Chains A and B, each alone.
Chain A
Amino acid sequence: MATACDQAFRPYAVDTLHGDCRGMTLPPAIRDLAPGRPGLVGDPALEASHLSKRYGDVQAVEDVSFQVARREIFALLGPNGAGKSTTVKMLCTLARPTDGTATVAGFDVRRQPKAVRRRIGLVFQEQTLDDQLTAEENLRFHAVLYRVPKIEVEARIRRVLDLVELADRRRDVVSTFSGGMARRLEIARSMLHTPAVLFLDEPTVGLDPQTRALMWEDVTRLREEAGVTILLTTHYMDEAEYADRIAIIDRGSIVALDTPSNLKAMVSADTVELTTADDPIATARLTAAGFRAKLGTGNVIVFTPNGDSQIARLIDVAGVAVTNVHVHRPSLDDVFLHFTGRQIRADHAEHVLPMRMRARARRR
């Protein structure tokens, strides 16, 4: 029987709603969802109120509150150690909040952890596959843990493997996979039981741009077709753009929360980069003249409204030979800089390594 569901990853909801695939039953958690725009449907999928977490002397998360609507893609954006993973851990019941409460899919993370766990899918920052098992065995294990009915297991495994294009590696042991392949397998696994809320903690770290784009296709399709709500954390600005809303988190607290376009609008200043013969002198003079200027690496960075019309004046004030001028409208990077006073670092090599490699490196 060749139906639409054999061709693409149609995670159970849409097909069943259209009556195409009778064999597939719909998780009630998802069946309840009416299609609609984010923020307009029923209760929020996820609600954190005044969440805090202390580890000894470290205040990892402090008074974090936000709501995520059903079918929304919500991003937590922040630098290393901001408290993103800790927030995710509290929401998925792996860490107990020291203060505050949260509900996920309508259940309290403190009082009904098991009910929460049944309704969520997770991709952790660190790899959590058994690399001595094959891809298929890892998925089967997951299917049992999440009580996927036996007769559905095979079809679902096939779908998620097709989805991440690992069908041909199905019977290979995970230790023979590249880092990116292992990551894709984890993403496939998190979708296997069609969670109501999917948590992705830096899901694309270590993936090449192509695979990242593919993964984003999968994730957005999952939202469209199965009505899954997605909370992700990321360092990548371009990735945060996929989100409906972004919470910028810094030192454990949310410093800004809005849609990407609204966030950009908040930062009115354009950024002008000047490459000059003597950057320190130019910076000093521009600052003296009242501009918000700072010394960059190999250039001078000036924040000013209407950057384009200011170029002539900037060159004039700098008073040294200017070899290159670049004006750009605020990007999310600038938004981030604006709210945290810091640039988000681009290198996160450490996270690419699975835990065991880090452990090995530590021992050496």
Chain B
Amino acid sequence: MTDARLPIAPGTLTDERSDLGGELRTVGMVWERELIRFVRTRTRILSSFIQPILFLFVLGYGMSTLVGTTEGFTFKKFVFPGIVAMSVVMTAIFSAISIVWDREFGFLREMVVAPVSRASLVVGKTLGGASIATVQGSIMLVLAPLIGVHLTALLVLEVVGLELLMAVAMTTFGVFVASRIQRIEAFQVVMQLLLFPMLFLSGALFPLKGLPAWLAVITRINPLTYAVDPFRRVVFAVQHVPPAAAARFSTGVTLFGYSLPISAEIGVVCAFAALFLTLAVAGFGKPE
């Protein structure tokens, strides 16, 4: 084994030269730690299941009576992809919180003083949070038959892929915010002020059509809008959506009069993810 001849860390590698293998090992380890912590926190698992179900029933059933059905297409069916997206977003963001905890508990120091690049730490953290969020969102799909949402193998695959993308984008966003914040209380305040407006104005819970102009502008600036819409589009693609319902619960995001294709929406989300990742790495564990 070549490993046997590898000397110990200090001094083995010439100075600033970084080795990819070591960095990848770091990413893997940080990722693994996130999962271990998630699995060990029962309450977190429990609440992450209960919350979206609660939303689904309160919003789905509650609003259904208000909105009514359109040619047999219920509001529940409309809101289901939105709820799945919402649970992914919430889980991703709350995974990112752990950075603030790490700071409070001191473990952040163990990481930032180590001879690894900050990018590896942030990427590991992001992938950890995103994995948890994706699993979480995928488990929600179990509820689909209950709502009358038809699933195909391809659809599940598409949804999982979109969940992963959305989860990565939102975790990097959370890490970016968390790495700039010293205290857990502040993080919660920032998140309340950012996360909930972002969720409500993303089209997850109601169609983005016919909004007042100023609100329409905000929804177009909101990165989540571009992450939620592809979700609904792929889900609706395999459902029977009567024309009247399609008109009422419209999908697609229009920007400056252009209707964006799904690939463009995904591109926008990727761009946001890249931006947040860059900002997160830049702000992570700088020396005092």
Interface residue ranges, A against B (CB under 8 Å): 12, 23, 25-30, 55, 89, 92-96, 105, 107, 112-115, 117-119, 122, 124, 126-133, 137, 140-142, 144-152, 173, 193-196, 354-356, 359
Contacts and interface: CB of A to CB of B under 8 A. Distances in A.
User: How extensive is the interface on chain B, given as a class?
Assistant: 35 or more
A351 to B, nearest CB: 13
Quick one: which of A130, A137, A142, A173 has the most chain B CB within 10 A?
A130
A249 B262 CA distance: 64
Contacts of A193: 8-10
Given A124-B106, A144-B26, A194 B8 contact: yes
Contact of A144 (B13, B15, B25): B25
Contacts of B109: 94, 124, 126, 128
B106 A118 contact: no
B113 A114 contact: no
A117 B111 CA distance: 11
B237 interface: no
Given A29-B11, A118-B11, A151 B3 contact: yes
B287 interface: yes
Interface string B23-55: 001101100010011001100000000000000
Contacts of B110: 128-130, 141-142, 145
B12 interface: yes
Interface SS, A side: loop
A149 B8 contact: yes
A193 B12 CA distance: 12
Nearest to A359: B104
B116 interface: yes
A146 B114 contact: yes
9 contacts: A93-B113, A118-B10, A127-B106, A128-B110, A132-B36, A141-B110, A146-B114, A151-B1, A193-B10
B107 A151 contact: no
B115 interface: yes
A23 B12 contact: no
Contact of A133 (B4, B12, B22, B33): B33
Contact of A118 (B3, B5, B9): B9
A130 B4 contact: no
B16 A149 contact: no
Contacts of B111: 145
B6 A114 contact: no
Interface of B: 1, 3-13, 15-16, 19, 22, 25-26, 28-29, 33, 36-37, 40-41, 102, 104-107, 109-116, 287-288
B16 A115 contact: yes
A210 B260 CA distance: 70
B8 A26 contact: yes
Contacts of B5: 25
Contacts of A115: 15-16, 115
A280 B22 CA distance: 68
Given A119-B11, A130-B33, 14 more contacts: A25-B6, A26-B7, A27-B8, A55-B288, A92-B113, A94-B288, A112-B15, A130-B110, A132-B36, A142-B110, A148-B8, A194-B8, A354-B105, A356-B104
A326 to B, nearest CB: 43
Nearest to B18: A114
Given A29-B10, A194-B8, A195-B10, A145 B287 contact: no
Contact of B106 (A92, A141, A355): A355
A117 B104 contact: no
B225 to A, nearest CB: 35
B115 A145 contact: yes
Contacts of B41: 132
Nearest to A92: B113
Nearest to A140: B29
Contact of A355 (B1, B28, B29, B105): B105
B288 A89 contact: yes
- Please list the 7 inter-chain residue pairs (A to B) with the smallest Cβ-Cβ separation, ordered nearest first: A145-B114, A28-B11, A117-B115, A128-B106, A29-B11, A27-B8, A29-B10
Given A28-B10, A133-B36, A149-B8, A114 B106 contact: no
Contacts of B22: 147
Contacts of A23: 4
A214 B195 CA distance: 51
Contact of B7 (A25, A95, A354): A25
Contacts of A140: 29
Given A94-B287, A95-B288, A126-B106, A114 B16 contact: yes
A23 B1 CA distance: 12
A148 B9 contact: yes
Quick one: which of B8, B22, B26 has the most chain A CB within 10 A?
B8
Contacts of B7: 25-28, 149
Contacts of B8: 12, 25-27, 147-149, 152, 193-194
Contacts of B11: 27-29, 118-119, 196
A195 B113 CA distance: 13
A147 B107 CA distance: 18
B36 A355 contact: no
A245 B10 CA distance: 26
